[in-house]
Structure 1
Amino acid sequence: MRSRSWVPLVGIMVVLLFACAVSVTAQEAADPGVLRIATTTSLYDTGLLDELEMMYENTSNVDVQITAQGTGQSLDTARRGDVDLVLVHSPAQEQQFIDEGYGINPRCFAYNSFIIVGPASDPAGIANMSPEDAFKTIYLAGTNNTPGVAFASRGDNSGTHTREQQIWAAAGYNYTQDIQDSGNWYLETGSGMGETLTVANQKNAYTLSDIGTYLAFKSQLSLVELVTTGDQLLNRYSAIAVNPDKAPGVNIDEANRFIDWITSNETKAFIGNFGVEEFGQPLFTPLYPPECTEPPFNCTTCSGGANATTGNATA
């Protein structure tokens, strides 16, 4: 009797011990000396992230490991627990990430603008239009096979690609039904902002870009700024920590410290001066309270010091 009852008991104990070991391993997976960040390519392509990485490593003795992806890919990477925080620029996608419970301690830190660039000849004639009218004009010209009219899209679920889709919608089009696969005029690169600008330049095509990446690549491009104003062109950047309750093993303590640091006045001053010497203007404008919590930014906060580990407010 004893031997028969002992065998299943041993089996149960082994299963429980294994489960505990897996749990402990997951909880201890965070390396306190490493901070993993997934970032939008626009922050990376401008060179700003290289500078911030070096600055933070020098002050914290932490190894900062950066993965540059579109916002959608960055948030998916965070959902898997493969990074500790994200630096992104797509408010709707950010809010979904937070509502799902993956994102905590959201704070804005800077903004710039999107612009529509294209060949200097401007074959569709969109210069100085509103973003919506420019997209409508490009669509009509492209689908009517107007010579020289093409549009290069990132097509990668990034913040820029999401904003492009929002502008198409504001112009009265259904993106999946009306725009995608609507002809050779519409190209999807599936790449980051820098590479998409390069493709657009090669194809003499229009594209939507953040101003920072465009200025960083401008010396390599013949594309010019054609549409620079409009409510749809605001481009806000946020830092969001990954919730350890949803992704065990993330380095939440260092993620929160980095968010405090990037929203500090000293770091914001650096961000506000970045690019001025080389391009004659900053590539990013830092956000400060109370402006950041008001329209059109609508951030929860943009100041450091909270070290929050829970929350579901809008970034």
Structure 2
Amino acid sequence: MSKLVPQLVPKFAPKFAPKFAIFLAAGLLLGGAGQVASAQDILRLSTTTSTENSGLLKALLPAFEARTHIKVHVISVGTGKALELAKNGDVDVTLVHARAAEDKFMAEGHGVNRRDVMYNDFIIVGPVEDPAGVSGSRDVIVALRKIVAAKVKFISRGDHSGTDQMEQSYWKEAGVKPAAGAYVSAGLGMGEVLTMAAQMQGYTLTDRATYGAYRAKTGLAVQVEGDAKMFNPYGIIAVNPAKYKDINIRGANSLIEWMTSAEGQKKINEFKVDGQQLFFSSYKK
């Protein structure tokens, strides 16, 4: 446009110059608005390692992006860090699994439009030989006490993730914990911890989805499952736009609506690894 302005303004000046200047200014404003709209097509999502490592997001997000023309940038960390990123306004929406932490996040005014999305479950996995003798147990607390008594290694996330928070609540209820030499606090994601458990021939608490993605490469076996205490629900929350003006609330709400829509819920149920369904929808639509 810079080449056109010198040619056009003199031709219409002086009568039309003011009007043309107004037209030009309006055009520049519209161009700026177009750039803002383009920026709004990017949605920042913080989420847990389980949704990324399992391959779930790779199965879900392309359909959402095709329907809405919104590109989702995923930051995969533990639930604690995912909520912290949302609290600081570094993302627009968060998908996590730690209901107590989610409720606190909402009560403090950091989030809006929280909804249940899906659920899976936690399991305890360990060596096929099962040195602690917990195989087949449906009581996670009894199993953990046996692991302590057997003095075998237990590998913990140790990263304040939803899985780590759940594990710590189990130890508190059990009233015991492995000795320092047997308890390894890794400070890592679930995939890395499963790899460590395989290498160290120890046990760990994991979500079933990530275990499914790592089962073949680790050789670990499911030893404890089915306890109601191991139910693992996921929630999705938009960051409160009243706290941060640059939050893409339109995109966040679009993702929330899609994830809880009939289409989104169907795709969650259809996602499988080695023929096994790993996540189950929370909505019946």
Q: What whole-Å deviation, never above 9, does each CA across 1:160-212 have from its counterpart, x for those lacking one?
A: 00110111122124xxxx55xx3111111111111111111111110001111
Task: Name the structure 2 match of 1:201.
Answer: 198
Q: Distance in 1 between matches of 2:209 and 2:117?
A: 15
Q: What whole-Å deviation, never above 9, does each CA across 1:86-116 have from its counterpart, x for those lacking one?
A: 0000101111111111011111111111000
Task: Name the structure 1 match of 2:23.
Answer: none
Task: Name the structure 2 match of 1:16.
Answer: none
Q: Tell me which of 32, 36, 39 is aligned to 2:47.
A: 39
Q: Distance in 1 between matches of 2:219 and 2:59?
A: 27
1:29 is displaced (CA, Å) by 11
2:199 matches 1:190: no
Superposed counterparts of 1:68-79, under 5 Å: 68-79=76-87
CA contact (8 A) 1:115 1:227 kept: yes
Q: Distance in 1 between matches of 2:180 and 2:175?
A: 18
Q: What whole-Å deviation, never above 9, does each CA across 1:49-94 have from its counterpart, x for those lacking one?
A: 1222222221111121000000000000111100001000010111
Q: What whole-Å deviation, never above 9, does each CA across 1:248-294 have from its counterpart, x for those lacking one?
A: 3111111011100000011111110101xx422211011125xxxxx
Task: Name the structure 1 match of 2:9.
Answer: none
| Amino acid in the other structure paired with 1:288 | Y
Q: Distance in 2 between matches of 1:152 and 1:247?
A: 38
Q: How has the CA–CA distance of structure 1 residues 204 and 30 changed in structure 2, closer, same or farther, with 3 Å as cutoff? A: farther
CA contact (8 A) 1:126 1:226 kept: yes
Q: Distance in 2 between matches of 1:249 and 1:30?
A: 13
Which one has a bigger Cα radius of gyration?
2
Report the TM-score when normalising by structure 1: 0.76
Q: Tell me which of 92, 105, 111 is aligned to 1:84.
A: 92
| Amino acid in the other structure paired with 2:180 | G
- Say how many residue pairs are matched: 249
Q: Distance in 2 between matches of 1:138 and 1:283?
A: 26
CA contact (8 A) 1:30 1:249 kept: no
2:285 matches 1:287: no
2:142 matches 1:133: yes
Q: Which runs of 4+ in 1 moved over 2 A?
A: 28-31
Q: Distance in 2 between matches of 1:183 and 1:258?
A: 43
| Amino acid in the other structure paired with 1:71 | T
Q: Distance in 2 between matches of 1:288 and 1:34?
A: 27
Q: Distance in 1 between matches of 2:191 and 2:245?
A: 34
Q: Distance in 1 between matches of 2:156 and 2:245?
A: 36
CA contact (8 A) 1:154 1:189 kept: yes
Give the 3-state SS of the residue equivalent to 2:130 in structure 1.
coil
Task: Name the structure 1 match of 2:106.
Answer: 98
Q: Distance in 2 between matches of 1:183 and 1:281?
A: 36
| Amino acid in the other structure paired with 1:208 | L
1:247 is displaced (CA, Å) by 2.8
Q: Distance in 2 between matches of 1:29 and 1:231?
A: 46
Give the 3-state SS of the residue equivalent to 2:64 in structure 1.
helix
Q: Tell me which of 118, 134, 152 is aligned to 1:110.
A: 118
CA contact (8 A) 2:46 2:93 kept: yes
Q: Distance in 2 between matches of 1:193 and 1:252?
A: 30
2:231 matches 1:223: no
Q: Distance in 1 between matches of 2:92 and 2:208?
A: 27
Give the 3-state SS of the residue equivalent to 1:78 in structure 2.
helix
CA contact (8 A) 2:155 2:193 kept: yes
Q: What runs of 5+ residues in structure 1 fail to find an aligned partner?
A: 1-27, 143-148, 290-302, 304-315
1:47 is displaced (CA, Å) by 0.5
| Amino acid in the other structure paired with 2:150 | A
2:268 matches 1:271: yes
Report the TM-score when normalising by structure 2: 0.84
CA contact (8 A) 1:102 1:247 kept: no
